[in-house]
Amino acid sequence: MNQYEELADQYGTPLYVYDLDRVAEARHDLRTSLPDEVEIYYALKANPHPQVAGALRSGEGRECRAEISSVGELAAALTAGFRASEILYTGPGKTDGELDEAIGKGVKTFCVESLTDLQHVGAVALRHGVVADCLLRINSATASATTSIRMTGTPSQFGIDSETLVDAMPELRAVPGTRITGLHFFPLSNARDEASLIGEFRHTIAYAAGLAEETGLTLEFLDIGGGFAHPYGAPGERPVYRELRTELAAALDEHFPHWREGAPRIAVETGRYQTSGAGTLLTRVVNIKVSRGRKFVVIDAGINTFGGMSGLGRLLPVAVEPEYTGSAEATELTDVASLAGPLCTPGDILGREIRLPELAPGDLVTIPNAGAYGVTASLLMFLGRPAPVEVVLKGGKVVSASRLEHHRTPATPG
């Protein structure tokens, strides 16, 4: 019996297993692929588990900082040991209540998506007697990469349209309670390859330099976004970026000759790259059925457990790497079936017509590279099923086991 089988027997399924040693390896790989001066922000939306996030905060090289977009993520970041004064708060719909809590707890830096968003931040900052440092998120009119998941260049709730920035700057600069300290870009996610990632970063750096010159904005902080790739819910290895460090430094030298002295500070953001490979989802086969010639393997993990980033609008089928107990006797992928979850909806499919071994009820199936966008990006409360247990390993030993709970509490007006 291997360790996954032992954990599944002990804690039940579905079950997430996170390996902190693999988190540390991913942190090391990203840190060494970037110039030493570049700051890394971990996007807690990828996996807000405090022990996972905490393993990313400290380690070899300079500390990683946190990027959040809710007070729930703020609580997780503070629990993980991140300092509030170094957290970047983002998102297009910050409410007064959320801003009041964040600023009250010491968050100083906000990414703003519009003039009104900036005004909301400023109004709350004034009530607290502080001035908030604000990055203007830019929705660029142009981009470099033509593949990957585009995050810019179209009408969007995210960012200020770059072509309007020059005219908008006087009003943006005049918002009380705020100080515009830099620019924030996030043009793509999950770059196809290293050349695409480098091309996008080069384009962003040049574009930012041009905007700063056009607007007369002295950049103290430039966040060039992310795009670091990783397989998701399918077998595969984390890419190693061998040219990025040199190419990124060259682009920054060309457009911001004093960046190594912190003028401006340069930052990147990452989520799945540092966490996806550290997580595995364990699930058991509940039932096997054939319908009009098609086989369905029904498991106890569905889109409520592994939603394929359904919470982010990306419902993706997955491939699996089988591990099993029970009656399965061979590892050959000799069967073709759809992998279905247990929910009462035809959308609860984790893989359509994929190759599997011959499975039987009770067999264990593992979904690899599931450490990002798992529990909290899934339809967790749908049909009222309990959340999966999350087990954390370090050095091969269990250091914690916990489960998120959802329950109804009384609400008061106001």
Q: What is the CATH number of the domain that holds 338?
A: 2.40.37.10
* 211 closest CA partner among 241, 174, 168: 168
Structure tokens that stand for 373 in this block: 């966008």
* HSE-CB of 128 using CA atoms within 13 angstroms: 23
- pLDDT for 347 equals 82
Residues 266 and 365 in one domain: no
- The answer to whether residue 333 is domain-embedded is yes
Give the C-alpha separation, 341 to 351, whole Å: 10
- pLDDT for 234 equals 83
Domain boundary pick from 212, 240, 275:
275
- The answer to whether residue 225 is domain-embedded is yes
Give the C-alpha separation, 236 to 216, whole Å: 45
* HSE-CB of 91 using CA atoms within 13 angstroms: 19
Domain boundary pick from 234, 253, 275:
275
Give the C-alpha separation, 247 to 244, whole Å: 5
Beta strand 397-402 pairing with 389-394: antiparallel
Q: By the 8 A CB rule, do 151 and 218 touch?
A: no
- The answer to whether residue 29 is domain-embedded is no
Residues 210 and 64 in one domain: yes
- Please provide the distance, in angstroms rounded to a whole number, between the alpha carbons at the two ends of the chain: 55
Residues 246 and 392 in one domain: no
Residues 240 and 295 in one domain: no
- The answer to whether residue 24 is domain-embedded is no
Residues 328 and 382 in one domain: yes
Q: By the 8 A CB rule, do 285 and 328 touch?
A: no
Q: What is the pTM of this model?
A: 0.91
Residues 58 and 175 in one domain: yes
Domain boundary pick from 275, 307, 322:
275
Give the C-alpha separation, 130 to 178, whole Å: 9
- pLDDT for 147 equals 46
Percentage of the chain beyond pLDDT 70 is: 89
- pLDDT for 132 equals 98
pLDDT tens per residue across span 366-381: 999 999 988 888 888 8
* Backbone phi, psi, residue 26, to 5°: -65, -40
Strand ranges inside 151-220, DSSP E: 160-161, 178-184, 188-189
Give the C-alpha separation, 337 to 245, whole Å: 43
Residues 308 and 236 in one domain: no
Give long-range contacts, CB 8 A cutoff, 24+ apart: 296-299. Answer: 296/337, 296/338, 296/340, 297/337, 297/338, 297/339, 297/340, 297/356, 297/359, 298/340, 298/341, 298/342, 299/14, 299/339, 299/340, 299/341, 299/342, 299/350, 299/365
pLDDT tens per residue across span 202-243: 999 999 999 999 999 999 999 999 999 998 888 889 999 999
- pLDDT for 309 equals 54
- The answer to whether residue 411 is domain-embedded is no
3-class secondary-structure state, position 108: coil
pLDDT of 318 above 70? no
Residues 305 and 227 in one domain: no
* CATH code of the domain in which 46 resides: 3.20.20.10
- pLDDT for 148 equals 46
- The answer to whether residue 407 is domain-embedded is no
Q: Which domain holds residue 299?
A: 3-13+277-370+372-402
* 211 closest CA partner among 233, 180, 189, 176: 180
Q: How far is CA 185 from CA 64, 70, 331, 368, in A?
A: 19, 19, 45, 30
Residues 115 and 250 in one domain: yes
- pLDDT for 292 equals 94
pLDDT tens per residue across span 376-413: 888 888 888 899 999 999 999 999 999 999 888 898 88
Residues 123 and 220 in one domain: yes
Structure tokens that stand for 358 in this block: 């011959």
